[in-house]
Amino acid sequence: MNLHSPGAGTVIDIAGDALIALPDRALFWPRTRSLIVADLHLGKGAAFRRAGVPVPSGATATDLARLDALLAGHAPERLLVLGDLFHTRLSQDEPAMAAIDAFRARHAALQITAIRGNHDRQVKRLPAAWRIDWIAGCLHQSPFVFAHEPAPDPRGVVLSGHLHPVLQLKSRRDSARLPVFWFRHAERIGVLPSFGSFTGGYPVQPAAADAVIAVTPDGLVPIQSGKLFETPAPCMS
């Protein structure tokens, strides 16, 4: 696996381009000044509380503060969300609305592009002032194809979300369940861990040729050094 660590991030060479995997479950694409995240599920806690499930509030504000820190640290021009930016419909009186309003005001010059995920059902009801550019389907920007659900695409290496991949590590006495970046070599697909702090995880079973980078409290740890995608796929118009 072609990677090395510059400080807190891990540089990954994929298909002739470089991405930086970040410990806060994000990728930074230096060539296009893009910060890439997946599956924030903003407003999920409020949806649970509306259904009578007494979960704590504040997850949306916490996740937006994490985004604030990433934006300050890497100064991207674009935030690219690989689906499920929101969990469900937001009510106008929810604290999440005010938190997102304030986030957008803090980053007024930031371009926000979002692939529409299976939970992003109410995008037409969102405030126009949030200025989110929604994309149905995939976004092809060579050598990558950005999507929500992981499926091969002949145009390039797919970077996706949706699965919330985690890896269960066990020893004789202990176990840990860690979010992971999962690069599926045979299918030319990379799956990002979910960015949202109030999301579940899907245990994955990587193939021998896959590359897996775990997110731990102490930073990123390569768990499985498989093969990445050294040769770009042919581009299609």
The answer to whether the bond into 143 is cis (omega within 30° of 0) is: yes
Q: Which residues, 6 or more positions from 74, have their beta carbon under 8 angstroms from its beta carbon? A: 28, 35
Q: Which residues contact 133 (CB under 8 A, 6 or more apart)?
A: 111, 112, 113, 114
pLDDT at 102 over 80: yes
Strand partners, 216: 219
The C-alpha atoms of residue 215 and residue 189 are separated, in whole angstroms, by 19
pLDDT in tens, 154-182: 999 999 999 999 998 776 676 678 999 99
The answer on pLDDT for 226 being more than 80 is: no
Whether pTM > 0.85 for this model: the answer is: yes
List all residues 6 or more positions away from 173 whose beta carbon is below 8 Å from its beta carbon.
Answer: none
- Per-residue pLDDT tens for 24-57? 999 999 999 999 999 998 875 555 445 454 444 5
CATH architecture of 3-224: 4-Layer Sandwich (3.60)
